[in-house]
Protein backbone atom coordinates (compact mmCIF):
# COMPACT_ATOMS: atom_id res chain seq x y z
CA UNK A 1 0.00 0.00 0.00
CA UNK A 2 3.07 2.17 -0.13
CA UNK A 3 2.25 3.07 -3.75
CA UNK A 4 2.88 6.77 -4.29
CA UNK A 5 1.00 8.84 -6.82
CA UNK A 6 2.49 12.02 -8.24
CA UNK A 7 -0.03 14.83 -7.93
CA UNK A 8 0.65 18.52 -8.69
CA UNK A 9 4.34 17.95 -7.98
CA UNK A 10 3.71 16.11 -4.70
CA UNK A 11 3.98 12.41 -3.98
CA UNK A 12 0.82 11.24 -2.29
CA UNK A 13 0.18 7.69 -1.03
CA UNK A 14 -2.61 6.00 -3.01
CA UNK A 15 -4.37 5.22 0.27
CA UNK A 16 -4.65 8.90 1.05
CA UNK A 17 -6.21 9.56 -2.36
CA UNK A 18 -8.66 6.71 -1.93
CA UNK A 19 -9.57 7.83 1.58
CA UNK A 20 -10.11 11.35 0.16
CA UNK A 21 -12.44 9.99 -2.49
CA UNK A 22 -14.19 7.91 0.17
CA UNK A 23 -14.79 11.04 2.23
CA UNK A 24 -16.27 12.82 -0.77
CA UNK A 25 -18.55 9.87 -1.54
CA UNK A 26 -19.48 9.57 2.14
CA UNK A 27 -20.39 13.23 2.24
CA UNK A 28 -22.40 12.93 -0.98
CA UNK A 29 -24.24 9.93 0.49
CA UNK A 30 -25.04 11.80 3.71
CA UNK A 31 -26.33 14.80 1.75
CA UNK A 32 -28.38 12.62 -0.59
CA UNK A 33 -29.85 10.66 2.34
CA UNK A 34 -30.98 13.70 4.28
CA UNK A 35 -32.27 15.58 1.23
CA UNK A 36 -34.31 12.55 0.15
CA UNK A 37 -35.74 11.83 3.58
CA UNK A 38 -36.24 15.51 4.33
CA UNK A 39 -38.08 16.19 1.09
CA UNK A 40 -40.16 13.02 1.46
CA UNK A 41 -41.17 14.01 5.00
CA UNK A 42 -41.98 17.57 3.95
CA UNK A 43 -44.15 16.34 1.07
CA UNK A 44 -45.83 13.78 3.28
CA UNK A 45 -46.68 16.35 5.98
CA UNK A 46 -47.93 18.78 3.34
CA UNK A 47 -50.02 16.09 1.71
CA UNK A 48 -51.48 14.98 5.07
CA UNK A 49 -52.41 18.55 5.98
CA UNK A 50 -54.11 19.08 2.64
CA UNK A 51 -55.85 15.74 2.85
CA UNK A 52 -57.15 16.61 6.32
CA UNK A 53 -59.02 19.68 5.06
CA UNK A 54 -59.77 18.49 1.54
CA UNK A 55 -62.91 16.41 2.12
CA UNK A 56 -64.58 19.03 4.31
CA UNK A 57 -63.73 21.86 1.93
CA UNK A 58 -64.96 19.88 -1.05
CA UNK A 59 -68.35 19.33 0.59
CA UNK A 60 -68.68 22.95 1.63
CA UNK A 61 -67.63 24.17 -1.80
CA UNK A 62 -70.19 21.97 -3.57
CA UNK A 63 -72.94 23.22 -1.23
CA UNK A 64 -72.09 26.82 -2.04
CA UNK A 65 -71.72 26.32 -5.79
CA UNK A 66 -75.45 25.60 -6.00
CA UNK A 67 -76.40 28.49 -3.70
CA UNK A 68 -77.41 31.57 -5.75
CA UNK A 69 -76.82 33.90 -2.77
CA UNK A 70 -73.39 32.62 -1.87
CA UNK A 71 -71.04 35.03 -0.11
CA UNK A 72 -67.54 33.82 -0.96
CA UNK A 73 -65.68 36.58 0.86
CA UNK A 74 -67.07 35.74 4.27
CA UNK A 75 -66.49 32.02 3.67
CA UNK A 76 -62.83 32.34 2.79
CA UNK A 77 -62.06 35.16 5.26
CA UNK A 78 -60.76 32.95 8.05
CA UNK A 79 -59.09 30.29 5.97
CA UNK A 80 -55.53 29.14 6.56
CA UNK A 81 -52.94 29.15 3.73
CA UNK A 82 -53.32 25.36 3.44
CA UNK A 83 -57.08 25.65 3.08
CA UNK A 84 -56.66 28.32 0.42
CA UNK A 85 -54.20 26.15 -1.50
CA UNK A 86 -56.61 23.21 -1.43
CA UNK A 87 -59.47 25.48 -2.43
CA UNK A 88 -57.51 26.79 -5.43
CA UNK A 89 -56.79 23.24 -6.47
CA UNK A 90 -60.49 22.26 -6.18
CA UNK A 91 -61.45 25.41 -8.06
CA UNK A 92 -59.07 24.52 -10.88
CA UNK A 93 -60.56 21.02 -11.06
CA UNK A 94 -64.22 22.11 -11.06
CA UNK A 95 -63.79 25.01 -13.46
CA UNK A 96 -62.58 22.49 -16.05
CA UNK A 97 -65.64 20.29 -15.49
CA UNK A 98 -68.58 22.61 -14.88
CA UNK A 99 -70.44 24.99 -17.18
CA UNK A 100 -73.28 27.50 -16.77
CA UNK A 101 -74.27 29.26 -13.59
CA UNK A 102 -72.22 27.00 -11.36
CA UNK A 103 -69.10 27.86 -13.34
CA UNK A 104 -69.95 31.56 -13.09
CA UNK A 105 -70.19 31.26 -9.31
CA UNK A 106 -66.87 29.45 -9.20
CA UNK A 107 -65.32 32.29 -11.19
CA UNK A 108 -66.54 34.70 -8.53
CA UNK A 109 -64.75 32.54 -5.97
CA UNK A 110 -61.59 32.83 -8.06
CA UNK A 111 -61.87 36.62 -7.88
CA UNK A 112 -62.50 36.44 -4.12
CA UNK A 113 -59.29 34.41 -3.83
CA UNK A 114 -57.51 37.23 -5.67
CA UNK A 115 -56.37 34.92 -8.44
CA UNK A 116 -56.76 37.41 -11.35
CA UNK A 117 -54.54 40.02 -9.67
CA UNK A 118 -51.94 37.37 -8.81
CA UNK A 119 -52.01 36.07 -12.35
CA UNK A 120 -51.48 39.55 -13.72
CA UNK A 121 -48.41 39.91 -11.51
CA UNK A 122 -47.16 36.52 -12.72
CA UNK A 123 -47.38 37.75 -16.31
CA UNK A 124 -44.80 40.40 -15.46
CA UNK A 125 -42.36 37.84 -14.08
CA UNK A 126 -39.99 35.66 -16.08
CA UNK A 127 -40.43 32.03 -17.00
CA UNK A 128 -42.60 30.36 -19.60
CA UNK A 129 -44.44 28.12 -17.14
CA UNK A 130 -45.16 31.08 -14.84
CA UNK A 131 -46.81 32.81 -17.81
CA UNK A 132 -48.63 29.67 -18.88
CA UNK A 133 -50.07 29.08 -15.42
CA UNK A 134 -51.19 32.70 -15.18
CA UNK A 135 -52.83 32.60 -18.63
CA UNK A 136 -54.52 29.31 -17.73
CA UNK A 137 -56.06 30.81 -14.59
CA UNK A 138 -57.25 33.85 -16.53
CA UNK A 139 -58.79 31.53 -19.14
CA UNK A 140 -60.59 29.44 -16.54
CA UNK A 141 -61.86 32.61 -14.86
CA UNK A 142 -62.59 34.28 -18.22
CA UNK A 143 -60.67 37.39 -17.26
CA UNK A 144 -58.99 38.73 -20.42
CA UNK A 145 -58.66 42.29 -19.04
CA UNK A 146 -55.78 41.35 -16.74
CA UNK A 147 -53.86 40.22 -19.83
CA UNK A 148 -54.98 43.13 -22.03
CA UNK A 149 -54.03 45.69 -19.34
CA UNK A 150 -50.61 44.12 -18.79
CA UNK A 151 -47.46 44.71 -20.81
CA UNK A 152 -47.06 40.98 -21.38
CA UNK A 153 -46.38 39.80 -24.91
CA UNK A 154 -46.45 36.10 -25.69
CA UNK A 155 -43.19 34.88 -27.18
CA UNK A 156 -43.18 31.09 -27.35
CA UNK A 157 -45.69 29.02 -29.39
CA UNK A 158 -47.23 27.75 -26.15
CA UNK A 159 -47.60 31.24 -24.74
CA UNK A 160 -49.21 32.35 -27.98
CA UNK A 161 -51.63 29.41 -27.89
CA UNK A 162 -52.51 30.08 -24.23
CA UNK A 163 -53.10 33.78 -24.97
CA UNK A 164 -55.35 33.04 -27.94
CA UNK A 165 -57.21 30.49 -25.85
CA UNK A 166 -57.81 33.10 -23.16
CA UNK A 167 -59.15 35.59 -25.69
CA UNK A 168 -61.22 32.93 -27.47
CA UNK A 169 -62.81 31.46 -24.32
CA UNK A 170 -63.51 34.95 -23.00
CA UNK A 171 -65.01 36.01 -26.34
CA UNK A 172 -62.50 38.84 -26.44
CA UNK A 173 -61.19 38.17 -29.94
CA UNK A 174 -62.25 40.82 -32.47
CA UNK A 175 -62.50 38.13 -35.11
CA UNK A 176 -60.98 34.76 -35.95
CA UNK A 177 -58.28 36.42 -38.06
CA UNK A 178 -56.85 38.12 -34.99
CA UNK A 179 -56.46 34.78 -33.23
CA UNK A 180 -55.09 33.06 -36.30
CA UNK A 181 -52.54 35.75 -36.91
CA UNK A 182 -51.35 35.55 -33.30
CA UNK A 183 -51.10 31.77 -33.58
CA UNK A 184 -49.59 31.46 -37.02
CA UNK A 185 -47.74 34.68 -37.74
CA UNK A 186 -44.00 34.05 -38.01
CA UNK A 187 -44.68 30.55 -36.80
CA UNK A 188 -42.11 28.04 -37.95
CA UNK A 189 -42.32 25.25 -35.44
CA UNK A 190 -45.25 22.94 -34.95
CA UNK A 191 -47.93 23.23 -32.26
CA UNK A 192 -48.52 21.22 -29.15
CA UNK A 193 -51.89 19.46 -29.19
CA UNK A 194 -53.22 22.33 -27.09
CA UNK A 195 -52.07 24.81 -29.74
CA UNK A 196 -53.55 22.71 -32.52
CA UNK A 197 -56.83 22.40 -30.65
CA UNK A 198 -56.86 26.16 -30.07
CA UNK A 199 -56.30 26.74 -33.78
CA UNK A 200 -59.20 24.38 -34.49
CA UNK A 201 -61.56 26.14 -32.05
CA UNK A 202 -60.74 29.59 -33.39
CA UNK A 203 -61.01 28.44 -37.01
CA UNK A 204 -64.33 26.68 -36.29
CA UNK A 205 -65.90 30.13 -35.89
CA UNK A 206 -64.65 31.22 -39.28
CA UNK A 207 -63.06 28.47 -41.45
CA UNK A 208 -62.77 30.95 -44.30
CA UNK A 209 -60.22 32.98 -42.31
CA UNK A 210 -57.97 29.94 -41.85
CA UNK A 211 -58.31 29.04 -45.51
CA UNK A 212 -57.16 32.50 -46.50
CA UNK A 213 -54.30 32.51 -44.00
CA UNK A 214 -53.19 29.08 -45.20
CA UNK A 215 -53.44 30.04 -48.88
CA UNK A 216 -51.18 33.03 -48.23
CA UNK A 217 -48.62 31.31 -46.00
CA UNK A 218 -48.59 27.56 -46.48
CA UNK A 219 -45.42 27.57 -48.55
CA UNK A 220 -43.47 29.20 -45.73
CA UNK A 221 -44.57 26.70 -43.09
CA UNK A 222 -42.49 23.77 -41.94
CA UNK A 223 -43.76 20.37 -42.97
CA UNK A 224 -45.02 19.42 -39.47
CA UNK A 225 -46.88 22.72 -39.16
CA UNK A 226 -48.43 22.27 -42.60
CA UNK A 227 -49.56 18.77 -41.61
CA UNK A 228 -51.10 20.13 -38.41
CA UNK A 229 -53.03 22.86 -40.26
CA UNK A 230 -54.22 20.36 -42.88
CA UNK A 231 -55.35 18.08 -40.08
CA UNK A 232 -57.39 20.93 -38.63
CA UNK A 233 -59.24 21.21 -41.95
CA UNK A 234 -60.15 17.57 -41.66
CA UNK A 235 -62.37 18.42 -38.70
CA UNK A 236 -63.67 21.83 -39.72
CA UNK A 237 -67.20 22.38 -40.98
CA UNK A 238 -67.98 22.02 -44.64
CA UNK A 239 -69.68 25.34 -45.19
CA UNK A 240 -66.63 27.15 -46.51
CA UNK A 241 -67.62 29.34 -49.39
CA UNK A 242 -64.20 30.40 -50.59
CA UNK A 243 -63.56 30.05 -54.28
CA UNK A 244 -59.92 29.34 -53.88
CA UNK A 245 -58.98 25.84 -52.82
CA UNK A 246 -56.03 25.71 -55.15
CA UNK A 247 -53.46 25.79 -52.33
CA UNK A 248 -55.14 22.76 -50.76
CA UNK A 249 -55.22 20.79 -53.99
CA UNK A 250 -51.62 21.89 -54.61
CA UNK A 251 -50.56 20.13 -51.40
CA UNK A 252 -51.80 16.91 -53.01
CA UNK A 253 -48.76 17.22 -55.27
CA UNK A 254 -46.37 17.75 -52.33
CA UNK A 255 -43.22 15.64 -52.33
CA UNK A 256 -43.98 14.30 -48.85
CA UNK A 257 -46.36 11.32 -48.71
CA UNK A 258 -47.48 12.39 -45.26
CA UNK A 259 -48.50 15.85 -46.49
CA UNK A 260 -50.33 14.39 -49.50
CA UNK A 261 -52.17 11.88 -47.31
CA UNK A 262 -53.21 14.55 -44.80
CA UNK A 263 -54.31 16.85 -47.62
CA UNK A 264 -56.49 14.08 -49.04
CA UNK A 265 -58.12 13.50 -45.67
CA UNK A 266 -58.72 17.23 -45.20
CA UNK A 267 -60.54 17.28 -48.54
CA UNK A 268 -63.07 14.95 -46.95
CA UNK A 269 -64.74 18.11 -45.62
CA UNK A 270 -65.18 19.58 -49.09
CA UNK A 271 -67.13 16.82 -50.82
CA UNK A 272 -69.83 19.23 -51.93
CA UNK A 273 -67.39 21.19 -54.11
CA UNK A 274 -67.97 20.31 -57.75
CA UNK A 275 -64.47 21.36 -58.83
CA UNK A 276 -62.70 18.80 -56.65
CA UNK A 277 -65.07 16.01 -57.67
CA UNK A 278 -64.06 16.24 -61.26
CA UNK A 279 -63.40 12.70 -62.52
CA UNK A 280 -59.95 13.35 -63.98
CA UNK A 281 -58.82 14.88 -60.67
CA UNK A 282 -60.10 11.86 -58.74
CA UNK A 283 -58.47 9.44 -61.18
CA UNK A 284 -55.16 11.12 -60.50
CA UNK A 285 -55.64 10.87 -56.74
CA UNK A 286 -56.55 7.19 -56.67
CA UNK A 287 -53.46 6.48 -58.76
CA UNK A 288 -51.00 8.14 -56.36
CA UNK A 289 -47.85 5.98 -56.24
CA UNK A 290 -47.85 5.82 -52.42
CA UNK A 291 -50.25 3.30 -50.82
CA UNK A 292 -50.46 5.53 -47.74
CA UNK A 293 -51.83 8.39 -49.86
CA UNK A 294 -54.26 6.10 -51.68
CA UNK A 295 -55.54 4.93 -48.29
CA UNK A 296 -56.30 8.54 -47.39
CA UNK A 297 -57.96 9.12 -50.76
CA UNK A 298 -60.19 6.08 -50.21
CA UNK A 299 -61.20 7.46 -46.82
CA UNK A 300 -61.91 10.82 -48.44
CA UNK A 301 -64.15 9.24 -51.09
CA UNK A 302 -66.02 7.21 -48.47
CA UNK A 303 -66.49 10.33 -46.39
CA UNK A 304 -68.07 12.11 -49.37
CA UNK A 305 -70.39 9.15 -49.63
CA UNK A 306 -72.33 10.09 -52.78
CA UNK A 307 -73.01 7.63 -55.55
CA UNK A 308 -70.29 8.83 -57.89
CA UNK A 309 -67.60 8.85 -55.17
CA UNK A 310 -68.54 5.40 -53.95
CA UNK A 311 -68.48 4.06 -57.50
CA UNK A 312 -65.02 5.56 -58.02
CA UNK A 313 -63.93 4.07 -54.72
CA UNK A 314 -65.23 0.59 -55.53
CA UNK A 315 -63.53 0.62 -58.94
CA UNK A 316 -60.26 1.81 -57.42
CA UNK A 317 -60.39 -0.85 -54.70
CA UNK A 318 -61.05 -3.57 -57.25
CA UNK A 319 -57.86 -2.53 -59.03
CA UNK A 320 -55.83 -1.95 -55.85
CA UNK A 321 -52.85 -4.27 -55.51
CA UNK A 322 -51.69 -3.19 -52.05
CA UNK A 323 -53.50 -5.41 -49.56
CA UNK A 324 -53.44 -2.89 -46.73
CA UNK A 325 -54.62 0.00 -48.88
CA UNK A 326 -57.47 -2.19 -50.08
CA UNK A 327 -58.32 -3.10 -46.49
CA UNK A 328 -58.35 0.56 -45.38
CA UNK A 329 -60.58 1.34 -48.37
CA UNK A 330 -63.08 -1.45 -47.69
CA UNK A 331 -63.16 -0.53 -43.99
CA UNK A 332 -64.11 3.03 -44.95
CA UNK A 333 -66.57 1.71 -47.51
CA UNK A 334 -68.24 -0.60 -44.97
CA UNK A 335 -69.28 2.48 -42.99
CA UNK A 336 -71.31 3.50 -46.07
CA UNK A 337 -72.67 0.07 -46.96
CA UNK A 338 -76.29 1.17 -46.57
CA UNK A 339 -75.76 3.45 -49.59
CA UNK A 340 -74.43 0.64 -51.79
CA UNK A 341 -77.11 -1.06 -53.82
CA UNK A 342 -74.92 -3.35 -55.93
CA UNK A 343 -73.25 -6.61 -54.99
CA UNK A 344 -69.58 -5.84 -54.45
CA UNK A 345 -68.60 -9.09 -52.76
CA UNK A 346 -67.37 -10.64 -55.99
CA UNK A 347 -65.53 -7.47 -56.93
CA UNK A 348 -63.74 -6.91 -53.63
CA UNK A 349 -63.66 -10.50 -52.37
CA UNK A 350 -62.55 -11.53 -48.89
CA UNK A 351 -61.32 -8.03 -47.99
CA UNK A 352 -64.86 -6.73 -48.28
CA UNK A 353 -66.26 -9.67 -46.30
CA UNK A 354 -63.75 -9.03 -43.52
CA UNK A 355 -64.57 -5.30 -43.36
CA UNK A 356 -68.32 -5.86 -43.59
CA UNK A 357 -68.30 -8.39 -40.76
CA UNK A 358 -66.25 -6.10 -38.54
CA UNK A 359 -68.60 -3.21 -39.27
CA UNK A 360 -71.50 -5.42 -38.15
CA UNK A 361 -69.71 -6.27 -34.90
CA UNK A 362 -69.05 -2.58 -34.34
CA UNK A 363 -72.74 -1.82 -34.76
CA UNK A 364 -73.76 -4.68 -32.46
CA UNK A 365 -71.33 -3.62 -29.74
CA UNK A 366 -72.46 0.00 -30.01
CA UNK A 367 -76.09 -1.06 -29.73
CA UNK A 368 -75.25 -3.11 -26.65
CA UNK A 369 -73.41 -0.17 -25.08
CA UNK A 370 -76.38 2.09 -25.75
CA UNK A 371 -78.70 -0.45 -24.11
CA UNK A 372 -76.48 -0.69 -21.03
CA UNK A 373 -76.40 3.10 -20.76
CA UNK A 374 -80.18 3.08 -21.07
Partner 1 sequence: MAVSSQLFGELFAAFGLAVIGYYLVINAYYLWIHGLALLELRDDVRESNWTPPFRQFASPFYPGIGIIMPAYNESATIIESVQSMLSLNYPELEIIVVNDGSTDDTLQRLIDNFDLQTVDADIPIDVPTEEVRAVYRSTSYEELLIVDKENGGKSDALNAGIWLTDMPLFCAVDSDTIIDRDALLQLVRPFLEQPASAVASGGVIRVANECTIEKGVVKSVELPKTGLPGLQVMEYLRAFYSGRLGLNRINGLILISGAFGLFRTEVVREIGGYRHDTITEDFDIVVRLHRYLIDEKREYTVDFIPEPVAWTEVPATRRVLGRQRRRWYRGMVETVVTNRAMLFNRKYGRVGTVIFPFFVAAEMFGPLIEGLGYIILPLAWYFDILNVQFFLIFFFLTTGFGVFLSWFGIFSEVWSFNRYDSPWQILRLLWYGILENFGYRQWKTIVAWQGLIEYLKGVDTWGAMERSGFKTEDD
- By the rule CB under 8 A, 194 interacts with partner 1: yes
Q: Which is nearer to partner 1, 19 or 148 (CB)?
A: 19
**Contacts of partner 1 in 282-321 (CB under 8 A):** 292
User: What's the closest the beta carbon of residue 374 comes to partner 1, in angstroms?
Assistant: 15
- By the rule CB under 8 A, 40 interacts with partner 1: yes
Position among 4, 7, 29, 117 found at the interface with partner 1 (CB under 8 A): 29
Stretch that binds partner 1, among 65-73, 78-86, 192-200, 336-344 (CB under 8 A): 192-200
Dump the DSSP string for 58-88: HHHHHHHHT-TT--HHHHHTT--HHHHHHHH
- By the rule CB under 8 A, 221 interacts with partner 1: no
**Contacts of partner 1 in 257-286 (CB under 8 A):** 258
Q: Which is nearer to partner 1, 314 or 327 (CB)?
A: 327
Three-point CA angle 54, 55, 60, nearest 5°: 95
- By the rule CB under 8 A, 324 interacts with partner 1: yes
Query: Nearest-CA neighbor of 285 among 342, 325, 226, 324?
Result: 325
* C-alpha torsion angle, residues 314, 316, 320, 326 (rounded to 10): -50
Number of residues that bind partner 1 (CB under 8 A): 75
- CA dist 245 and 226 (Å) reads 15
- CA dist 254 and 219 (Å) reads 11
- By the rule CB under 8 A, 204 interacts with partner 1: no
* C-alpha torsion angle, residues 357, 360, 366, 369 (rounded to 10): -80
- By the rule CB under 8 A, 196 interacts with partner 1: yes
3-class state of residue 12 by DSSP: strand
Stretch that binds partner 1, among 81-89, 108-116, 270-278, 363-371 (CB under 8 A): 363-371
Position among 26, 145, 185, 308 found at the interface with partner 1 (CB under 8 A): 26
Position among 4, 21, 52, 250 found at the interface with partner 1 (CB under 8 A): 21
User: What's the closest the beta carbon of residue 25 comes to partner 1, in angstroms?
Assistant: 4
316 contacts 286 by C-beta, under 8 angstroms = yes
Q: Which is nearer to partner 1, 74 or 346 (CB)?
A: 346
Contact pattern from residue 71 through residue 90 relative to partner 1, giving x for each residue in contact according to CB under 8 A and a dash for the rest: --------------------
Residues 6+ apart with CB under 8 A from 356: 330, 334, 337
- By the rule CB under 8 A, 103 interacts with partner 1: no
Query: Nearest-CA neighbor of 115 among 89, 144, 138, 139?
Result: 138
Q: Helix and strand tally (H, E) in the chain?
A: 19, 2
DSSP state of 6: E
Stretch that binds partner 1, among 80-88, 110-118, 303-311, 355-363 (CB under 8 A): 355-363
Amino acid sequence: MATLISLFGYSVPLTVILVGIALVIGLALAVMFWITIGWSTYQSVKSDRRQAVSDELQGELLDRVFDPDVDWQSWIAGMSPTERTVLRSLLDEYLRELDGREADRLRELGVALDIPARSQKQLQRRGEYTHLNALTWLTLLERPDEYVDSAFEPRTPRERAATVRLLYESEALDDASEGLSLLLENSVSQFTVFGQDTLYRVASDDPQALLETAAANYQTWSQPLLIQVLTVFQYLGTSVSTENLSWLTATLEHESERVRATAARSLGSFGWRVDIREQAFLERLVNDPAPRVRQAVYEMLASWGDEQSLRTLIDALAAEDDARARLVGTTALAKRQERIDVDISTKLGQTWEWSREHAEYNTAARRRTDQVRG
